[in-house]
Amino acid sequence: MTTQRASEQRTGWILGLNHGIHDAAAVLLRDGELAVMIEQERLSRRKGAFNEAPVDALRYCLDYAGLTLDQVDGVALASDLDRFAQWLGLDGEERRRQLIYDDPDRLFPVEVFGSGQRPSPVPVRHHLAHAASAFWLSGFDEAAVLVVDKRGEDSSAMLAHGVGTEFRVLESIGVAESLGLYYQTATQYAGLYDESSGGYGKLMGLAAYGRPDQPAALCVSSGAPAFEALPSLADLPGREVAMTRASQLLDYFTDRCFPYTVGLRDEVLAYANFAASVQRSLEDVLLALAGRLHTLTGSRRLVVAGGVGLNCSANGAVARSGLFDDVFVQPVAHDAGAALGAALELSRRLRPGSRPGSPMTHAYWGPSFDQGMIDATLERHGVGFELLDESTLIERVADLLARGSVVGWFQGRAEVGPRALGARSLLGDPRTRRTLVRLNRIKGREMWRPVAPSVLHERFSRYFVDAPPNPFMIVSAWVRDEVRALVPAIVHVDGSARPQAVTAEANPRFWRLIAAFERRTGVPLVVNTSFNLQGEPIVNTPDEAVRDFLQAGIDALAIGDALALKR
């Protein structure tokens, strides 16, 4: 049953929810266009929002638009739990008891939304939701579609072809061959797994320190992923497949991969060659899948979504392969982004023949705060500050950065997705490695982990090669040999970086700041990492930004039009 209204009663508003185990999120569309999006973790302050319903996120979206639940045309869910239950072999009471994530009491609690009539949500297949989030917002009329994650309802990857207003699913890959599960298990073996954040970025960063000389289990068979020397799981009940495969992989790594033991957290660099081998194998398989998609579709454009789509190094390998002329990776590639895709898909169904969404050129779809609230927050914390016009603020912050200060940058609407893109960022001077050391200490991160650059779009090719300019910091590129000594803070040990190309149209204030830094230093980029401390999500409110500023070694805070300096 859908919540579609009679045509004369439609409001044009559509909600999308990711309601599963992790990465809960809510999205609101108006006439097929994105209006607001927020992840539950930004409000609950529990990273990953494990086992949280997207209640706070849903409430925020409704409040943003001044709506009540009964004023939306439909609510889309980013997975089909009935389909998942069928794969698990659950029915009736067992389905309701074990898969509680779409329970109306959980999604729409009376104490938050009142006792009025609740909507009847429309489930959208998980991988279809991911695909919709990428294709409808890519700006491409036609494209090959690659979705890869740990799992959907009954598969771990989907190859599809998007044309106009329709998708055609070409192939699906089973859970037994899950690339997301493979990478998660490898992260666990290296002792880097964290339930709240995954830790997958740590394994990707560690890979640059090693050589791919270890057996890695993963290989390519007939253009699809396969696991060598591991028993088939073809006859296993669905509910046991993922757990059994993870156990097999962990045994394989322990038996064949140095240092032959799980999770030596105090000796993490011992896993560098293992990490490099896992990363290389993942990239080989993703290149094979991309090649198969190119063959099946004949397309010169590719869109990517799913949790594995956050692997910047693998995205860089695909972009450099020459298989496609254009590659769009959804910046909210993980499960939070499936809420966006589910809403887009429901909008398409309710508006037959229409194509939802516009090209996604930026990720600033979260909350913003007025200057009055910002000023009151600073005063409540006893922080002295100056109110400055934009030009003066930018010049002052550029001076601070050029002198080596670390600056908290809290401006405009928040980014969606896991990357800070110049709205909720910690910024620094790329010309010295001391910036990398300071930022990693501020955030409680390992010293071997890299930080990323934000560069003026117009100067991208002067510093980076073998990748197109990307606005979402989600595709790796090589730093040109001749400039590596100029910007050592952003150059990873293998010579790569994860650059964000900043345009004046997408984020004018941030663009002007980088341009002001260039006028002082000759360098058209700054170090940019997410504004958060260890174990917490990216800051969402002025209060959180000010508290982190006071607690950590951040030298200055540029928050709205206010500039605060440490005494």
Instruction: Report domain 371-565's class.
Output: alpha beta
Amino acid in the structure at residue 340 = L
**DSSP calls for 50-114:** TT--SHHHHHHHHHHHT--GGGSSEEEESS-HHHHHHHHT--HHHHHHH--TT-HHHHS-HHHH-
Q: Spell out the SS3 assignment of 173-226.
A: ECHHHCHHHHHHHHHHHCCCCECCCECHHHHHHHHCCCCCCCCCCEEEECCEEE
Can you tell me the distance from the alpha carbon of 452 to that of 152, in angstroms, rounded to the nearest whole number?
Answer: 31
Q: What is the pLDDT of residues 393-435, one digit of tens each?
A: 999 999 999 999 999 999 999 999 999 999 999 999 999 999 9
Average pLDDT over residues 157-186: 96
Instruction: Decide whether 7-126+338-350 matches 371-565 in CATH topology.
Output: no
Q: What is the pLDDT of residues 113-122, one digit of tens each?
A: 998 889 999 9
**Paired sense of beta strands 556-559 and 496-497, if any:** unpaired
CB 563 within 8 A of CB 397: yes
Catalytic choice (22, 126, 334, 492): 22
pLDDT band at 2 (very low <50, low <70, confident <90, very high): very low
**pTM of the model as a whole:** 0.96
Can you tell me the distance from the alpha carbon of 513 to that of 524, in angstroms, rounded to the nearest whole number?
Answer: 10
Average pLDDT over residues 308-331: 97
Cα radius of gyration rounded to whole Å, the chain: 23
Q: What is the pLDDT of residues 468-487, one digit of tens each?
A: 999 999 999 999 999 999 99
What CATH topology corresponds to 138-329?
Nucleotidyltransferase; domain 5 (3.30.420)
Predicted pLDDT of residue 235: 85
Is pLDDT above 60 for 55? Answer: yes
Is pLDDT above 60 for 346? Answer: yes
Is pLDDT above 60 for 8? Answer: no
For 7-126+338-350, CATH number out of 3.30.420.40, 3.40.50.1450, 3.40.50.300, 3.40.50.970 equals 3.30.420.40
Cβ neighbours of residue 203 closer than 8 Å, sequence gap 6 or more? 183, 186, 187, 190, 192, 275, 278, 279
Percentage of the chain modeled with pLDDT above 90: 93
Q: Where are the domains of the chain?
A: 7-126+338-350, 138-329, 371-565
Average pLDDT over residues 350-369: 95
19 is catalytic: no
pLDDT band at 353 (very low <50, low <70, confident <90, very high): confident
Average pLDDT over residues 100-107: 96
Mean pLDDT score of the chain: 96
pLDDT band at 6 (very low <50, low <70, confident <90, very high): very low
